[in-house]
Amino acid sequence: MLEVKDLVVAYGKVRAVKGISFRVPQGQVVSLLGTNGAGKTTTLRTISGLLRPESGEVWFEGQRIDRVPAHKVVQLGLAHSPEGRRIFPRLSVEDNLMLGAFARKDAAGIAKDLQRVFALFEILKERRSQPAGTFSGGEQQMLAIGRAMMSRPRLLMLDEPSMGLSPLMMQKIMGTIAELQSEGVTILLVEQNAAAALELSDHAYVLEVGNITLDGTGRQLLDDDRVKRAYLGES
């Protein structure tokens, strides 16, 4: 569904991503793991058109998208829930969700998807007119995911959905991701919390300073000694 080939992204002279290639097949959950500065967020931002690559290609459903502007990428069916959630704190929950559907014009479909998000996250329905900035971190994350869902994406990219959340809330978010997958949404997940991400992933790639150093199924990586040492805190 999504294919990245030899992607190189640079900020000025500094190369953040140094020629990576990976694939996200339809219906799967694929994770990018790595520490701070490994280039995970840069990769996602390049795929969604917020950054331009220096070289390499990004293909989405048979179409090359690495030169397509961000607002067109959303229309193609690729949603990006950015790092740090980036909800609109002073807008109401409903306004936030409606902004997620900004690229669409089918009012009936939008209304239906709004109900779907409300069914997925009860709390959002209860507080639909409350300013989003008054929410706790976990609730904001639900809103961020719900907002990304509102563009009815075929591929959903989540950047660090567990950041700053309590373990309990993190479990809930991870559960939601699994639920979305069962509804047929393909997911590209970026996480620092390797254990939780690998549990869910059909396939995972480990990024280190701009290069993919390791890949395999979620199970394989969970059992890998290097991954255990570096990311799972076991010795």
Partner 1 sequence: MTASATTRQRAYNVERIVGLVGGLIFAVSAFFPWAYGHEALDDMAYFGSPSPLQWFAVVMALALINCLAASLLEPTLNNSTGFLKLLGRISKRFGWIRGARALAIGMLAYAVLAILAVALELNGLVNLEMGAWVALVGAGIAFGSSMMLPTGRAPFLERIPSYPVLEIATIALLLMGMLFASAYALSQEDGGTFLMVLVFIGALAGFAIGSGFGSWVATAGRRHRTVLVSSAFLVAFLFPFTQNGSDANMSIATQVLIFAATAVGLNIVVGLAGLLDLGYIAFLGAGAFTAAVLSESAFATINWHPPFIVVMLLSGCISATLGLIIGSPTLRVSGDYLAIVTLAFGEIFRITMNNLDGSSGPNLVHGSSGIPAIPNLNFFGFDFGQSHVVAGIELGRFANYFFLMLVIMSIIILVFTRLNHSRIGRGWVAIREDERAAEAMGVNVFGLKLLAFAGGAFLAGFAGAVKAHVDVSVVPDQYVFLESAFLLAAIVLGGMGTVMGVLLGATLLKLVPEKLRFMSDYRMLIFGLLMVVMMRFRPEGIIPNQRRALEFHVDDEELVEDVEERLPYEFVEFEEVPA
Positions that interact with partner 1 (CB under 8 A): 48, 50, 69-71, 73-75, 80-91, 95, 98-100, 102-103, 126-127, 129-131, 133-137, 139, 147, 151, 163-164
Burial category of 52 from C-beta neighbours within 10 Å (exposed 0-12, middle 13-18, buried 19 and up): exposed
Closest CB to partner 1 among residues 5, 116 = 116
For helices 137-149 and 93-100, the axis angle rounded to 10 degrees is 40
CA distance linking residue 40 with residue 47, whole number of Å: 11
Q: How far is the CB of 128 from partner 1 (least distance, A)?
A: 10
Given the complex with partner 1, which of 103 and 206 has the nearer CB atom?
103
Q: Which is nearer to partner 1, 168 or 182 (CB)?
A: 168
Closer CB to partner 1, 135 or 205, in the complex: 135
Whole-number minimum distance, CB 40 to partner 1, in Å? 14
Residue 189 CB, nearest approach to partner 1 (Å): 16
- The owner of tokens 């040492």 is 229
Instruction: Output the CA–CA distances (angstroms, integers) from residue 115 to 98, 138, 163, in the order listed.
Output: 12, 20, 26
